[in-house]
Chain A
Amino acid sequence: MIKHLAAAALLLTTACLAVGPAAAADPGITDTEILIGDVEPLTGPPALLGVAASIGHKIAIAEANAAGGINGRKIKYVLEDDGYITARTIQGVKKVIDVDKVFAMIGISGSGQSIAVMPVLEKSGIPTVIDVAPVKFLWEPPRKNVFVVGQSYEEGIVHLVNFLADKNPGKKWGLITQDDDYGITVRDGFDSVVKAKKLNVVYSGNYKKGQQDFSSDMLQLKETGAEVFLAGGIIAENIAMMKELEKLGIKPVTGIFWPGRIEPVLKLMGPAGDGIYAVDYVEPFAGAAGKAFLEKAKPLVSEAEFKGINRYTMTGYAAARVMIAAIERCGKQPTWACTISELEKTKNVETGVMAPISFGPGIRFSNQKLQIMQADAATLSFKPVN
């Protein structure tokens, strides 16, 4: 009898060991499902980026699921709202990792929020691809499990100011920035080109986050005779500035940064927004790649979600594609270690919405290629400038 019991126990142990890899696999993965988590601002003004990025994730996931999922497993997207409040981001990330037990993380709110949540991500060791707000701190120093798709704010501003400076030599410059980390980054990038190219800066303003009336600021800009203007607002601020300039009857050559490069902004700026320059690393919707992306997205999301698509949808889509591809390359039994290793091996992954994405050993930042585009008020779109 004892012999039979021992044999049965041995058989059971052997059976358990045989299916061991699945049972001992990292969280968030079953025979039929893989959970991917995300925390974004879905309420409040920054929902403009959070909702759009989550739509991009959904498009990539829907596309993969329609093609059979990841090696037969369907992807389930677990999305939490942080309202752009850092404490809620940390709470949300902990929840999706510890309670929902997701297999991987994508997206993750704004720059300040993703910086704050970095210790949680590092400690957990979960494979993560950040796509919403690329800032240097997220990849310098490189963290083993955290990858960033995009381009740094500093590089973006330097690229834009260099372009405008080369196009408008000897002109007088004006700049206004927000009084936060975003504004400091914009100003730092601007200042580096000012030094290098010896630009003549006649106006330099700084506004408090949340300011809605820019009448006195733009009046000062006009008084200084600035001919080239870097509008360092995000969305509503840039609209208010351009309308104020229109009221004052001046139209300096104006550049804006990618957080504000969304098409509805042009409608609100009206004729005042015609011809403004922007820098970005994702394709404009008016181009062939942008149109193809919209065509692809249409059947994969609801009508309301389709209306919410903007540039952040493209960044979200690209990040989700990279993550899905890495998990897929791990085969039937993906683990965190394998996914991280495969993310590191990501080489020239084509997403169709930006330049090919690559990481590498010790390289956790995709360093996307930048392009300048110009607003066309007639078609309410941004078009690439060659």
Chain B
Amino acid sequence: MQYLIQLLISGLAIGAIYGLIAMGFAVIYKSTGLVNFAQGEMTMITAYIAWTISTTVSGNVFVVALGAILAAVLLGLIIERLVMRPMLGEPVFATVMVTIGLAVILRSAINFIWDAYPHGLDIGMGRGIVHVGGIGVRTGQIAVIVTLLALLAAIWAFFRYSKVGVAMRAVAADDRTALLMGISATRVHALAWAASSVIAGIGGVFFALSYDLSPAMFQLGLKAFPATILGGLDAVLGSGIGGLLIGITENLAGGYLGSGMKEVAGFAMIIVVLMVRPFGIFGERDIERV
């Protein structure tokens, strides 16, 4: 039983990181109808900026968190304004290709700005191990699960009750009608890119805290993308939950079926789920897939 619980906790922890990045995918898709293939790279850049702040400015957790959030907002806004806005009205395929190009540039930026060495993010917390009933868990792992759950609740409330959230839903549903209603689609898009960058960036920072920073970190995007497909590409909350499901499934498969099955299990689950619900567990039926 302890073995199962340990697998579940570890699965939830890595799944929460996938979930946060998956939510980043969904926020952009929901608001702009676009799949951002640079999501993993944006996550990585934010984590590297957090590390730079921790090593050059202050290792205080609040300073690092505030700095990383501001940097993520800026990163999202800059990408939206300089790269994505000029693509407004262009074919979806061309826009998606731009995000792929952006991904390659951001990936290379790591070596140009930082280096290829792995680094540890040290903010004085998150690395300690607590033992509950004989099961060891890192405090950072507990924190990321709690953060995901808090963000799920906050985002649900944001889309349901705030004017901006309703505006984002309106633009996603029909941007022309939303425009006629006085909603600025470009502002909504900018907000979506900033929010996506922050949410995914939080996942990246937690990953760096629990594991390490390296130029391979962008691959988290490849793990989070199936999570958002599973949860629903247009379902922000569903994507978060999709991440948890992928994390748990991977760990259970790895623990009971063998390590080779770990990577396969999540994708096998996605195939099965999509055969039954092609729009994802929490997605809406009429969505366009790229």
For the complex, what is the distance from the CA of A86 to the CA of B226, rounded to whole Å?
27
A215 at the interface (CB under 8 A from B): yes
Q: Which of A42-50, A131-139, A285-293 contacts B (4 or more CB under 8 A)?
A: A42-50
Q: Is the CB of B215 within 8 A of A215?
A: no
Q: Which 10 pairs, one residue from A and one from B, show the smallest C-beta to C-beta distance?
A: A216-B254, A215-B10, A47-B116, A205-B259, A48-B116, A216-B255, A208-B263, A45-B216, A213-B14, A247-B136
For the complex, what is the distance from the CA of A265 to the CA of B131, rounded to whole Å?
26
Minimum distance in angstroms from A241 CB to a CB of chain B: 11
Q: Return chain A residues, CB-CB under 8 Å to B215.
A: 44-45, 47
Q: Is the CB of A212 within 8 A of B220?
A: yes
Q: 0/1 per residue, B228-266, Cβ < 8 Å to A?
A: 000000000000000000000011111100111011000
What 9 additional pairs, Cβ within 8 angstroms, besides A205-B258, A208-B263? A44-B215, A45-B215, A48-B117, A212-B216, A212-B217, A216-B253, A219-B255, A249-B136, A308-B117
Q: Is the CB of A212 within 8 A of B219?
A: yes
Q: Is the CB of A236 within 8 A of B107?
A: no
A176 at the interface (CB under 8 A from B): yes
Nearest-CB residue, chain B, relative to A220:
B255
Q: Is the CB of B14 within 8 A of A45?
A: no
Nearest-CB residue, chain A, relative to B255:
A216
For the complex, what is the distance from the CA of A308 to the CA of B115, rounded to whole Å?
8
Minimum distance in angstroms from A225 CB to a CB of chain B: 13
A116 at the interface (CB under 8 A from B): no
Q: Is the CB of B263 within 8 A of A216?
A: no
Q: Return chain A residues, CB-CB under 8 Å to B258.
A: 205-206
Q: Return chain B residues, CB-CB under 8 Å to A51.
A: 111, 115-116
Q: Is the CB of B118 within 8 A of A47?
A: no
For the complex, what is the distance from the CA of A268 to the CA of B208, rounded to whole Å?
11
B214 at the interface (CB under 8 A from A): yes
Q: Is the CB of A215 within 8 A of B111?
A: no
B6 at the interface (CB under 8 A from A): yes
With an 8 Å Cβ cutoff, the count of chain B residues facing the other chain is 43
For the complex, what is the distance from the CA of A236 to the CA of B118, rounded to whole Å?
7
Q: Is the CB of A246 within 8 A of B129?
A: yes
Q: Is the CB of A211 within 8 A of B118?
A: no
- Residue pairs across A and B with CB atoms within 8 Å: the count is 121
Q: Is the CB of A216 within 8 A of B251?
A: yes
Q: Return chain B residues, CB-CB under 8 Å to A262.
A: 117
Supply 22 A–B pairs (Cβ within 8 Å), ascending by A.
A43-B107, A44-B108, A44-B111, A46-B116, A47-B116, A179-B260, A206-B260, A207-B259, A207-B260, A207-B262, A207-B263, A208-B263, A212-B211, A213-B211, A215-B13, A215-B251, A216-B11, A219-B3, A219-B7, A220-B255, A247-B129, A247-B136
Q: Return chain B residues, CB-CB under 8 Å to A43.
A: 107-108, 111-112
Minimum distance in angstroms from A313 CB to a CB of chain B: 13
Q: Is the CB of A208 within 8 A of B10?
A: no
B119 at the interface (CB under 8 A from A): yes
B120 at the interface (CB under 8 A from A): yes
Q: Is the CB of A236 within 8 A of B259?
A: no
A188 at the interface (CB under 8 A from B): no
Q: Return chain A residues, CB-CB under 8 Å to B211.
A: 212-213, 236, 239-240, 243
A210 at the interface (CB under 8 A from B): yes
A199 at the interface (CB under 8 A from B): no
Q: 0/1 per residue, A321-347, Cβ < 8 Å to B?
A: 000000000000000000000000000
Minimum distance in angstroms from B183 CB to a CB of chain A: 40
For the complex, what is the distance from the CA of A359 to the CA of B88, rounded to whole Å?
62
Q: Return chain A residues, CB-CB under 8 Å to B14.
A: 213, 215
For the complex, what is the distance from the CA of A223 to the CA of B118, rounded to whole Å?
29
Q: Return chain A residues, CB-CB under 8 Å to B3.
A: 219, 223
B169 at the interface (CB under 8 A from A): no
A88 at the interface (CB under 8 A from B): no
Cross-interface CB contact of B259 among A45, A46, A217, cutoff 8 Å: A217
Enumerate B106-142 residues with CB–CB distance to A below 8 Å.
107-108, 111-112, 115-120, 129, 131, 136-138
Minimum distance in angstroms from A106 CB to a CB of chain B: 20
Q: Return chain A residues, CB-CB under 8 Å to B251.
A: 213, 215-216
Q: Return chain B residues, CB-CB under 8 Å to A11.
A: none
Residue in A208, A219, A249 whose Cβ sees the most chain B Cβ within 10 Å: A219
Q: 0/1 per residue, A178-212, Cβ < 8 Å to B?
A: 01000000000000000000000000011110111
Minimum distance in angstroms from B10 CB to a CB of chain A: 3
